[in-house]
Chains A and B, each alone.
Chain A
Amino acid sequence: GENVEQHPSTLSVQEGDSAVIKCTYSDSASNYFPWYKQELGKRPQLIIDIRSNVGEKKDQRIAVTLNKTAKHFSLHITETQPEDSAVYFCAAIWSNNDMRFGAGTRLTVKP
């Protein structure tokens, strides 16, 4: 079946620490993996994405890694700040255009 599992469901870190969120997917044909951030009461917004021909991508304090063999990808946030507090969703786009999101991770960054 087609499924994206996301862990952990909640994550609390101290300001300045790193945060890592992991997702696994079931369809080896999946070729695109975006991450969305949803702040409280707001709409989800894309923060970073990676395609299946790339192993890692960075954008300032945010990075995503992809392991196609193991079918998992991770979001890494370094030097966390209170404004990073939000719900983060991973997603995997299957080759047939099917879109599947993980259940979300609620990240809390304590000042």
Chain B
Amino acid sequence: KAGVTQTPRYLIKTRGQQVTLSCSPISGHRSVSWYQQTPGQGLQFLFEYFSETQRNKGNFPGRFSGRQFSNSRSEMNVSTLELGDSALYLCASRSGLFNTGELFFGEGSRLTVL
């Protein structure tokens, strides 16, 4: 069974630009969640999607948005990039039927904002 796939793996943007990251979950998983990882801040929860609906959202500004498609693939978008948005963005999938269960993480998309 293929794991969680994230694209692109690395990208460099400049302030003010926008970026879209993609996440393909494990086949059969309907829940995809997104996290921002920065040194010292751990894993900051962005949002979770289940069956194309945002089920939960963390404390990030509206510049951070996401969506999920009918095949459970998910995208997250960050508009008007700021230097502080430089981070590793991880997505994770799980079956999603219950609020428990293992999260399977992708390798992440490392975003650098110049």
Contacts and interface: CB of A to CB of B under 8 A. Distances in A.
A88 to B, nearest CB: 10
A22 to B, nearest CB: 15
Given A32-B100, A34-B102, A43-B105, A103 B42 contact: yes
Nearest to A99: B45
B56 A98 contact: yes
A25 interface: no
A45 B4 CA distance: 12
Interface stretch (A11-19, A61-69, A72-80, A89-97): A89-97
Interface stretch (B10-18, B33-41, B66-74): B33-41
B100 A44 contact: no
A46 B56 contact: no
B108 A43 contact: yes
B102 A97 contact: no
B31 to A, nearest CB: 9
A98 B45 contact: yes
Given A43-B90, A43-B105, A44-B90, A95 B43 contact: no
A101 B35 contact: yes
Contacts of B56: 96-99
A7 interface: no
A71 interface: no
B102 A89 contact: no
B75 interface: no
Contact of B42 (A32, A46, A89, A99): A89
Q: Which residue of A32, A44, A103 has the most chain B CB atoms within 10 A of its CB atom?
A: A44
A9 B40 CA distance: 8
A109 B34 CA distance: 30
Contacts of A94: 99
Interface of A: 6, 9, 31-32, 34, 36, 42-46, 49, 51, 89, 91, 93-104
7 contacts: A31-B100, A32-B100, A49-B102, A96-B56, A99-B45, A102-B42, A104-B43
